[in-house]
Structures are given as C-alpha cells and as structure tokens.
C-alpha cells in the first residue's frame, strides 16, 4: 500500500507532465499491465480518502415510481419529484419507460469499448474537447491536465448525441438508448416545471431550441488500493439535468448536509440529478448537488453512463422571470457557453463553478 510519504504532488501546471505522461492511456491500461500498487499520482490527499468497503447510510435518496404519473397518484409523484429536487438534487426512477433490452445493449457497448486494446481506444483520444470539436467520440482519462494534481481512477468516452454528430460511426447501437433517455428527460423537465408552478414546457423551452445531449461512458476498473483513490472527485454537473445508468457495483455518492450518501444500485433504475443550470433557472429552488464516485473494493470493473442534458450554447441562462416576482434573482444572467467555458477552465471541486454566477445577495 502506498504510504502518505510516497504521495508526491505532480506540478502539472508548470511542466505539463501529466499531459505528456503515460497516464493518458487510462487506468484500464495500468490494470491490464498488472499494476500491483497505484502510481503516487492517483493517491488522494488524506482528507479525501474513503472507506471503500462500506456503504454509507443509503436508503434515503428517494426512489420514485414513474408508473404513478399515468394514474390518480400523479399529484403524489409530482410532489415526490419536487421534494427530491429541493432537498437532495438527486433521485432514482423506476418504471421510467426505457426498455430493459435497450439498457442492456447500452451497457454492453460501453463495456466493449473500454475493453478494447489500448491502441484502438487511443484513436479516439484527445486531451480536451476544444482540440477535437467535430469528433463524435472522445476518449479521456485526465479531466484537466493543466489544473489537476491528483488523477482519478476512471476512463471515459465522451459521446455526442444531440445535435447528432456528422461522423457518427462508432457506437451506433445506443441510438435507441439516446432517444429513450431524451424522451425521459423531456418528461422529467415537464414534471419539474409543474413543480415550480410553471407551464409544463417552461424548463425545456428555457434550454433553447432542442437541448444538447452527450454521454459520458465511465469505466472504473478494479483498483489495487481503492481506499487511496477516487473514481471521480466531488463535482456538480454543469448542464440542466443528468440521467445516469449505473451497474450493480455501486460507488456513486451524494453530498447532503455534511455527509456522503450512497446511491445504492437498483436494477434497471436510472439516477436523475439536478445540474447547475437547473438550479439557476429555478432561482435556487432546485438544488444542484456535489457528488463523486469511489472505487469500491472488488475485482470487477464498474460501468456508469451519464447522459447530460444541456442548454444550447447560446441559450441565455438566469432565473425564470416568473420565479423572481416574489423572490429576488439569485444568479447573474449569462450564456451557457460562458458557463461551460468557466467550468472547463478549472478542475472541479464540489459546486464551485456556480459561485462565479451568483449575485451578491447569494454569496
């Protein structure tokens, strides 16, 4: 096991070591090469380390049965979702309408990609989105080589979904998963609009003409020192709404009132979370919440697929006017493009990006 003394900080911002290091090949590459102990650059500082063996109090994150939207329990379901968005920023949904075979096929495609030979995955590699703007897929393992000093135990494939990219050659299969998740996201945005006493199309409209969508297909291989690493550091998602599919391994944790809570895997459920711009649009009523993924003890890789629903680049973000009649606006108006630029310019740490867009009465 790596001791604290061995943990050295790599000064990536000065010499750009990380960007040109062998670590760009990903953590699965290390595992395939028989890594027995994590390289020091993956070791979190002591205060970030976790108990990778136990589940935290985990039954509290709401599970909402969407079947009730079709019958006379509808108002109860609306209230559960509103409450979850206000109190947790997270909930799971069951009976969400995405067919199980579609989910299984998506998981299978994700696994097949991440278990390809490294050279094949590296054909999709670029360090930053801005270096491959027209590509439909981008393989990545280091989030921000200039700003980050500790690496995460995660490989990801970023796949553009909407607007549909031109070179859509890989991963054709999940096309139906994309569409199904988009349908679900639209339904949830309508329900969330109603929860704010707005017309049911209010939130979707606020995201601009046809909201953007991309997948982050995450792969967290087994780790020889799981208590020293994080799969993904604490962050909030920048867009509007995230729909996450996770397998049965677990590791996603949500921060609430000073504690971390596990989002315990539930077969075929989807995890929904409020992202930063939905907090902004709702004028702070719905909460975007810090979350992270730990790498649990165990010898099976974990897979999760985050589907991010984002405002269009040019959509103007700010609290929806009707919500500022009785309460003053809490966030500055801005373009989503500028929010993302700021988000990408830093290494995430909790909910920090949003701080730049708060009005003085909300600091």
Binding residues (CB under 6 A) for ligand OGA: these are 216, 218, 232, 237, 246, 252, 291, 293, 304, 306
Count the Cβ atoms, other than its own, within 10 Å of residue 225: 19
CB closer to ligand OGA out of 207 and 252: 252
Phi then psi dihedrals of residue 339, to 5 deg: -65, -45
Residue 307 contact partner, candidates Ni ion, ligand OGA, none, CB within 5 to 8 A by sort of partner = none
The distance in angstroms from the start CA to the end CA of the chain is: 42
* Closest distance of CB 40 from ligand OGA, Å: 24
* Closest distance of CB 253 from ligand OGA, Å: 8
147 alpha carbon, distance to own chain's centre: 19
CB closer to ligand OGA out of 218 and 282: 218
The Cα 355–Cα 176 span in angstroms is 37
Residue 304 contact partner, candidates ligand OGA, Ni ion, none, CB within 5 to 8 A by sort of partner = ligand OGA
Bridge partners (DSSP) of residue 137 are 159
Number of residues interacting with Ni ion: please give it, by CB under 5 A: 1
* Closest distance of CB 263 from ligand OGA, Å: 8
CB closer to Ni ion out of 80 and 237: 237
Residue 296 contact partner, candidates Ni ion, ligand OGA, none, CB within 5 to 8 A by sort of partner = none
User: What burial class does residue 4 get, using C-beta atoms within 10 Å of its C-beta: 0-12 exposed, 13-18 middle, 19+ buried?
Assistant: exposed
* Closest distance of CB 153 from Ni ion, Å: 15
180 scored as a contact of Ni ion (CB under 5 A):
no
CB closer to Ni ion out of 282 and 288: 288
CB closer to Ni ion out of 98 and 243: 243
* Closest distance of CB 176 from ligand OGA, Å: 21
Q: Which residue has the tokens 């390289």?
A: 39
| Gyration radius (Cα) of the chain, Å | 20
Judge whether 261 and 50 are in contact, CB under 8 Å: no
Q: Which of 80, 152, 204, 237 binds Ni ion (CB under 5 A)?
A: 237
* Closest distance of CB 232 from ligand OGA, Å: 5
Number of H helices, E strands in the chain: 10, 14
The Cα 81–Cα 98 span in angstroms is 18
The Cα 269–Cα 348 span in angstroms is 27
- Which residues contribute to the site for Ni ion (CB under 5 A)? 237
């Amino acid at each position: 096991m790596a001791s604290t003394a061995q943990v050295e900080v790599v000064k990536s911002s000065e010499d750009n070591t990380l960007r040109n290091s062998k670590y760009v090949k990903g953590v699965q590459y290390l595992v395939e090469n028989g890594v027995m102990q994590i390289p020091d650059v993956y070791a979190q500082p002591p205060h970030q380390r976790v108990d990778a063996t136990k589940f935290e109090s985990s039954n509290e994150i709401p599970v909402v049965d969407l079947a009730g939207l079709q019958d006379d329990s509808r108002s109860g379901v609306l209230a559960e979702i509103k409450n979850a968005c206000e109190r947790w920023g997270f909930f799971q949904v069951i009976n969400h309408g995405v067919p199980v075979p579609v989910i299984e096929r998506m998981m299978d495609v994700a696994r097949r990609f991440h278990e390809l030979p490294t050279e094949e995955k590296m054909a999709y590699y670029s360090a930053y989105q801005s270096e491959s703007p027209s590509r439909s897929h981008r393989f990545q393992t280091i989030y921000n080589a200039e700003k980050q000093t500790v690496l995460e135990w995660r490989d990801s494939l970023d796949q553009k979904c909407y607007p549909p990219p031109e070179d859509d050659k890989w991963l054709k299969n999940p096309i139906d998963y994309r569409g199904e998740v988009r349908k679900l996201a639209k339904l949830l945005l309508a329900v969330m609009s109603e929860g704010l006493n707005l017309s049911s199309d209010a939130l979707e409209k606020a995201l601009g003409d046809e909201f953007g969508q991309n997948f982050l297909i995450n792969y967290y291989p087994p780790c020889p020192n799981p208590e020293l690493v994080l799969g993904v550091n604490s962050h909030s998602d920048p867009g509007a709404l995230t729909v996450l599919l996770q397998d049965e391994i677990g590791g996603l944790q949500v921060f609430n009132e000073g504690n971390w809570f596990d989002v315990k895997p539930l077969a075929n459920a989807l995890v929904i979370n409020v992202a930063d711009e939905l907090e902004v649009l709702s004028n702070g009523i719905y909460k975007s919440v810090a979350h992270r993924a730990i790498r649990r003890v165990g010898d099976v890789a974990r897979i999760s697929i985050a589907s991010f629903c984002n405002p269009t680049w040019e959509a103007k973000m700010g609290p929806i006017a009707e919500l500022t009649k009785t309460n003053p606006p809490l966030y500055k108006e801005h373009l989503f493009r500028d929010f993302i630029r700021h988000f990408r310019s830093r290494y995430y740490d909790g909910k920090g990006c949003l701080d730049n867009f708060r009005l003085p009465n909300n600091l």
